[in-house]
């Protein structure tokens, strides 16, 4: 069985994972660095594709004559044309729950970094300069969590250690553990109006595209700090640039962008913006768990067993 791996994270912290795959009968092709031109050739005879952030689009999938599964090395599948895969009978799987803590940690790290100007202060001292930065407290403030899945709840759990009041918004029905985490459900508008810190944890889809735009920035507090470790398209970056430069909000922390690498240079010039290159899921522990979960479906395919975490199961007979 031919397995193409295009994410450099796969097996990074599990030395024998690829050897184990080969011992079990997999012909492993590691296409790293990624080349779309070569992928157009390799995918023709592939049975499985372990994909990271590379685009699994309709054109590529249409060339796959034997492909049975696209296994996302992560959670979000917005870089995979799920509709096209479904039409071709290709299962799309992901690895939920493997990076929840890693992303929640980074969200809080960005929150503290923006609040206390940590990156700017670090750069100043390393450049043999000394100065003062007047930050704002995180302790005892109000945190608004948009999206109350596992990661959003993880951020709320961390907020309890800072004695923060937590407001939550989600389109789903409230879950019992929200009471245990002292999350108060409110409307999105109320959350934006009352929160000192706002952390986004929603998937990118037609309902969340541009969820935070010009109108939303208008109703936020002028000292609000916005954090996004979800997907870049959830925030309208042009509106964010205006909000940061016109002091409509105090600051922002981004791990994700509308296009990656970022193609909005004006936004990068904002001194009240802290950024990281989509590293939320990348801790040693999270990457190892993700790799192990991703490969399990490859083994299931080898053994003609049912696949787990199939995101398009309702449209397939798997």
Q: Residue 296: name the closest of 77, 79, 73 by CA.
A: 73
Query: Buried b vs exposed e over 97-128: b needs ≥16 C-beta within 10 Å?
Result: ebbbbbbbbbbbbbbbbbbbbbbebeeeeeee
Which fold, 100-275? Rossmann fold (3.40.50)
Q: At residue 262, does pLDDT exceed 80?
A: no
Distance between CA atoms of residues 69 and 75, nearest Å: 15
User: For the chain, what is the mean pLDDT?
Assistant: 95
Q: Residue 167: beta bridge partners?
A: 144, 184
- In the chain, CATH 3.40.50.720 sits at 2-98+283-315, 100-275
pLDDT of amino acid 264: 84
Residue 253: phi and psi, rounded to 5, are: -125, 125
Cα 318 from Cα 315, distance rounded (Å): 9
Q: What is the pTM of this model?
A: 0.86
CATH of 2-98+283-315, one of 3.30.565.10, 3.40.50.2300, 3.40.50.720, 1.10.340.30: 3.40.50.720
What's the confidence (pLDDT) of residue 4?
A: 97
Give the catalytic positions in this structure.
231, 260, 278
Answer for the pair 190, 145: CB distance below 8 angstroms, yes or no. no
Determine the distance from the C-alpha atom of residue 245 to the mean position of all C-alpha atoms in its chain, rounded to a whole number. 26
Per-residue pLDDT tens digits for 224-239: 999 999 999 999 999 9
């Amino acid at each position: 069985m031919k397995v193409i791996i295009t994410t450099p994270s796969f097996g990074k912290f599990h030395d024998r994972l690829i050897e184990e795959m080969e011992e079990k009968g997999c012909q492993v092709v590691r296409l790293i660095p990624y080349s779309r031109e070569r992928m157009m050739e390799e995918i023709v005879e592939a049975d499985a594709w372990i994909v990271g952030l590379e685009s699994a689009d309709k054109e590529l999938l249409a060339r796959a004559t034997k492909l049975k599964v696209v296994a996302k090395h992560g959670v979000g599948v917005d870089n995979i044309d799920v509709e096209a895969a479904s039409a071709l009978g290709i299962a799309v799987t992901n690895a939920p729950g493997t990076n929840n803590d890693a992303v929640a940690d980074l969200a809080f790290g960005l929150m503290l970094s923006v609040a206390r100007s940590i990156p700017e202060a670090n750069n100043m001292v390393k450049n043999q300069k000394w100065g003062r930065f007047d930050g704002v407290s995180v302790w005892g403030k109000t945190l608004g969590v948009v999206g109350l899945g596992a990661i959003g709840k993880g951020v709320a759990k961390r907020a309890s250690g800072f004695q923060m009041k937590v407001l939550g918004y989600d389109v789903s029905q409230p879950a019992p553990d929200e009471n245990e985490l002292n999350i108060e459900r409110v409307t999105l508008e109320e959350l934006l109006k009352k929160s000192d810190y706002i952390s986004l944890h929603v998937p990118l889809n037609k309902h969340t595209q541009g969820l935070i735009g010009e109108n939303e920035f208008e109703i936020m507090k002028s000292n609000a700090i916005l954090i996004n470790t979800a997907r870049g398209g959830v925030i309208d970056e042009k509106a964010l640039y205006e909000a940061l430069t016109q002091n409509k909000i105090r600051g922002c922390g981004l791990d994700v962008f509308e296009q990656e690498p970022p193609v909005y240079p004006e936004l990068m010039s904002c001194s009240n913006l802290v950024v990281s290159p989509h590293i939320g899921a990348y801790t040693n522990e999270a990457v190892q768990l993700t790799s192990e979960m991703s490969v399990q479906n490859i083994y299931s395919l080898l053994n003609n067993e049912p696949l787990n975490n199939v995101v398009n199961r309702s449209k397939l007979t798997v």
